[in-house]
């Protein structure tokens, strides 16, 4: 049996999840239920769970802050959340499992099976990737992101990303130091994570950091010129949005 701990500050969510686990996941045994992150920290140390269902949004300390407070994470995690879109983006980018509330029995079963089949080593790497996206006391800003490569995760400063180019189900990321890396995420995934100024999707295949833009050349086939004379086409549908950004810069 796999020892499970549920951490959620909403009692009805805990009760519902317990019932679903009993009905549809017989290989799991609920060893404890906690209604706060603080209590969760105590129970993790005492019960040594193998799998934790962790609510993202909780009063006082949220789920991400709770994980950052742990010195050793030797268990798998399935996050639960009701509405935090930033949290969902970060979790999905880190390739970790999450469940939207109210929890669906089929999605629960799928998440549990994925978690049980994943190695602990990969789980820890994925968790490290997630936590690099999350800053304490804010979900709006972060300094670094973890880019998933063939060999693990590469931590890069967000400000160093010049350009992201779509390559089927992969994305080619070009950095200010001249390096580039191909990551196993679609450009849409990267766009969702970097969904803030100064990043702008100027073309179906390109997401650019406009801090590196030098000039915009107008015309039917308009294009941007970035540092190192990198040129990027601007699609007709994105031209107006780009011009608004440029006009804002000119005051």
d(CA 150, CA 135): 26
Task: Give me the domains of the chain, ranges plus CATH numbers.
Answer: 2-132 (3.40.50.2300), 144-249 (2.40.50.1020)
pTM: 0.58
Helix (H, G, I), strand (E, B) or coil at 109: helix
- Range with lowest mean pLDDT among 69-78, 198-207, 234-243: 69-78
Q: Largest Cα–Cα distance in the chain?
A: 66
d(CA 6, CA 34): 6
Q: What is the mean pLDDT of the chain?
A: 83
Considering 42-46, 70-74, 120-124, 143-147, the range whose residues carry the highest mean pLDDT is 42-46
So what's the pLDDT on residue 22?
A: 95
- Which residue do the tokens 């999450």 mark? 98
Read off the pLDDT of residues 173-200 as tens digits, 9 standing for 90 and up. 999 999 988 988 889 888 877 877 789 9
C-alpha distance across the termini of the chain, in Å: 64
Q: Helices 85-93 and 120-132 sit at what angle, rounded to 10 degrees?
A: 140
d(CA 53, CA 32): 11
Read off the pLDDT of residues 39-56 as tens digits, 9 standing for 90 and up. 999 999 999 999 999 998
Angle, CA of 46, 126 and 82, to the nearest 5° = 75
Cβ(203)–Cβ(213) below 8 Å: no
So what's the pLDDT on residue 137?
A: 38
pLDDT tops 90 at residue 23? yes
Count of CA atoms in the C-beta half-sphere (13 A) of 153: 23
Burial of 43-58, coded b for 16+ CB within 10 Å and e otherwise, reads bbeebebbbbbbbbbb
So what's the pLDDT on residue 132?
A: 58
So what's the pLDDT on residue 139?
A: 44
pLDDT tops 90 at residue 166? yes
So what's the pLDDT on residue 129?
A: 59
Cβ(70)–Cβ(51) below 8 Å: no
So what's the pLDDT on residue 142?
A: 47
Cβ(32)–Cβ(49) below 8 Å: yes
């Amino acid at each position: 049996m796999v020892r499970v701990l549920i951490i959620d500050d909403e009692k009805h969510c805990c009760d519902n999840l317990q019932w679903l686990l009993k009905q549809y996941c017989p290989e799991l045994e609920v060893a404890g239920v906690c209604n706060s992150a603080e209590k969760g920290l105590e129970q993790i140390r005492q019960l040594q769970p193998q799998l934790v269902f962790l609510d993202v949004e909780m009063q006082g300390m949220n789920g991400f802050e709770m994980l950052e407070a742990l010195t050793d994470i030797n268990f798998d995690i399935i996050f639960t959340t009701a509405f935090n879109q930033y949290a969902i983006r970060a979790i999905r980018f880190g390739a970790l499992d999450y469940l939207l509330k109210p929890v669906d029995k089929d999605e629960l079963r799928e998440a549990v099976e994925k978690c049980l089949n994943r190695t602990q080593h990969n789980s820890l790497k994925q968790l490290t990737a997630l936590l690099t996206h999350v800053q304490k006391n804010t979900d709006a800003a972060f300094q670094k992101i973890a880019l998933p490569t063939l060999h693990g995760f590469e931590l890069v400063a967000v400000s160093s990303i010049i350009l992201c180019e779509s390559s089927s189900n992969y994305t080619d990321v070009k950095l200010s130091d001249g390096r580039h890396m191909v990551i196993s995420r679609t450009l849409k995934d990267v766009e969702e994570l970097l969904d803030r100024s100064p990043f702008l999707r100027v073309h179906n295949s390109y997401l650019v950091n406009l801090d590196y833009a030098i000039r915009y050349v107008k015309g039917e086939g308009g294009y941007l010129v970035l540092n190192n004379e990198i040129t990027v086409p601007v699609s007709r549908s994105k031209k107006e949005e780009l011009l608004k950004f440029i006009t804002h810069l000119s005051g």
